[in-house]
Structure 1
Amino acid sequence: MNLTISGHHLELTPALRDYVNSKLERIRRHFDNVIDAAVILTVDNLTEKEKRQQAEITLHMRGNYVHVQAIAQDMYAAIDLMVDKLDRQVLKHKGKVQNHQHEALKHMSATMETNLPAQ
């Protein structure tokens, strides 16, 4: 997985990079078919009381993009919220991809004809 981490109005420290990497391990553990991930960490300085920390990620998987955004007072809390939301969406996508319980219609008609009772 290619991981790109960038910061807007924020200096990316090695601690932030390591924290994002450690949190994204959970996503890799659940679903390893991720091609690319772009993380953007932003600080909006509206006023000193309303300082907002925003974390967003765009995940590129085969055939799908997932975008998640989270806002909190603390950057680490925003990253935690973002990863929780992303985990739910990735598990939902994984369930859709792996749900092959339904047979194709062309095979269903052949099996239905053979299972009919003799008259």
Structure 2
Amino acid sequence: MQINLSGHHVEVTSSLRKYVDSKFSKLERHFDHINNIHVVLTVEKLNQKAEANIHINGGEVFASAVNGDMYASIDTLVDKLDRQILKYKGKIAQH
């Protein structure tokens, strides 16, 4: 699993990168067929926004989250992606 992390109007620090890596490792435990993850962190006035596009075998999953704190928006983003991946995994198991 390769994570591409970029920032828009925000500097991506090493602590922020480590936090994203630790949170997204949770997704890999639930679903092994994740090829690539592209994460964009954005600051818009008072809103901290996190977006992610995950390339998996057979499709893509996208989610975004906005919060006042960047770490909280990353947490919300990972929760949304986790639900979507588990839903996708359930669809694959039914076929």
What's the TM-score, normalizing by structure 2?
A: 0.97
After TM superposition, give the deviation of residue 14 of structure 1 in Å. Answer: 0.4
Name the counterpart of 1:18.
18
After TM superposition, give the deviation of residue 2 of structure 1 in Å. Answer: 1.6
Question: Greater share of strand residues, 1 or 2?
Answer: 2
Higher relative contact order (CA 8 A, sep 6+): 2
Q: Which runs of 5+ in 2 are unaligned?
A: none
Structure 2 residue corresponding to 1:84, chosen from 79, 83, 93 = 79
Aligned-residue RMSD, C-alpha: 0.7
Equivalence map 1:44-59=2 (5 Å) = 44-45=44-45, 51-59=46-54
Structure 1 residue corresponding to 2:89, chosen from 82, 94, 99 = 94
Runs (4 or more) in structure 1 with deviation over 4 Å come to none
Percent identity, please: 49
Name the counterpart of 1:28.
28
Larger Rg computed on CA atoms: 1
What's the TM-score, normalizing by structure 1?
A: 0.78
Name the counterpart of 2:58.
63
Q: Which runs of 5+ in 1 are unaligned?
A: 46-50, 101-119
Aligned residue pairs, count: 95
After TM superposition, give the deviation of residue 98 of structure 1 in Å. Answer: 1.5
Distance (Å, rounded) in 2 between the aligned partners of 1:26 and 1:99: 23
- AA aligned opposite 1:60: H
